[in-house]
Amino acid sequence: MTAAHGPSAHDHAAHDHAAAHDHATRAASFQAGASNYAAVRPAYPQAAVDFLLGAVPHPHPSTPPRVLDLAAGTGKLTASLVTRDLDVVAIDPSAAMLAELAASLPDVETHRATAEAIPVVTASVDAVVVGQAWHWFDEPAASAEIARILRHGGTLGVVWNMRDTSRDWVARFGEILHRGDRLEPVADHVAPRLGAQYDDVEHESFPWADDIATASLRPLAASRSYLLTLPDDERETLLAAVDELVATHPDLAGRDRVALPYVAHAYRARRR
């Protein structure tokens, strides 16, 4: 009788490499990188947040509008909401991400849940906003669930920060981040496709720049789902390429800080 053998090192490596190209695994990967995500990911320009919220209904003059930040993560978008006269709720499937949010925004109500099953009463929310996450959702299911919880006339707003690759060093940085990434087209911003419960989707773009330490480009790269799910040696190869870019590119070499240009692509639609 031949002795049974467990998975080989080769089998584990093949599994790890396959995981980097699996949508569900990538979506769940932020659980492992929550603290780094909180430290290095950009916020959103206030003009884009203004656009997302639009003319949020205010059905009860004595209470502020209720706004739900869906897939709130560590609170990058939530932080902009709490500076306004709003009743803010944050929802995310990752306990680690919500723990980071709660540490910086302890007064925000939080729930651990997905976009396809939101633990909120029907027609009880005036606006839902989604930052850097719509591409992780089951779009038809999430659209219907958001329509369920929105009051009639309420707003759904979706935003992505996209690097402005017209700058050579930014284009090269992006090439490193996407090197070998078979899911990258899924992560690009596209207009959300919504059901008949919504009016037409509106779109605006907001150019802006994030002033960052050049040393933070490595952890910024490491915060991406693709790198989080790569085998250790492949991740380190890409991070070493980021280090080389910082050390040698004329726009980065010898500098402590740099302006990383973005375009915030914002979409909104009103619930009928």
Residue 178 has pLDDT above 80, yes or no: yes
Q: Is 40 in contact with 220 (CB distance < 8 Å)?
A: yes
Over residues 20-37, the mean pLDDT reads 81
Tell me, which fold does domain 29-172+183-212+260-270 have in CATH? Answer: Rossmann fold (3.40.50)
> Domain boundaries in the chain?
29-172+183-212+260-270
The pLDDT mean for the chain works out to 91
Q: Name which of 98, 99, 88, 136 is nearest 115 in CA terms.
A: 136
What is this structure's pTM? 0.88
CB atoms within 10 A of CB 139: 17
Q: For 124-176, what is each residue's pLDDT tens digit?
A: 999 999 999 999 999 999 999 999 999 999 999 999 999 999 999 999 999 99
Q: For 206-264, what is each residue's pLDDT tens digit?
A: 999 999 999 999 999 999 999 999 999 999 999 999 999 999 999 999 999 999 999 99
Confidence class of residue 186 from pLDDT cuts 50, 70 and 90?
A: very low
- DSSP code per residue over the chain: -PPP----HHHHHHHHHHHTT-HHHHHHGGGGSHHHHHHHS----HHHHHHHHSS-----TTSPPEEEEET-TTTTTHHHHTTSS-EEEEEES-HHHHHHHHHH-TTSEEEE-BTTB--S-TT-EEEEEEES-GGGS-HHHHHHHHHHHEEEEEEEEEEEEEE-TTSHHHHHHHHHHHTT-TTHHHHS-------TTB-PPEEEEEEEEEEEEGGGHHHHHHTSHHHHHS-HHHHHHHHHHHHHHHHH-TTTTT-SEEEEEEEEEEEEEEB-
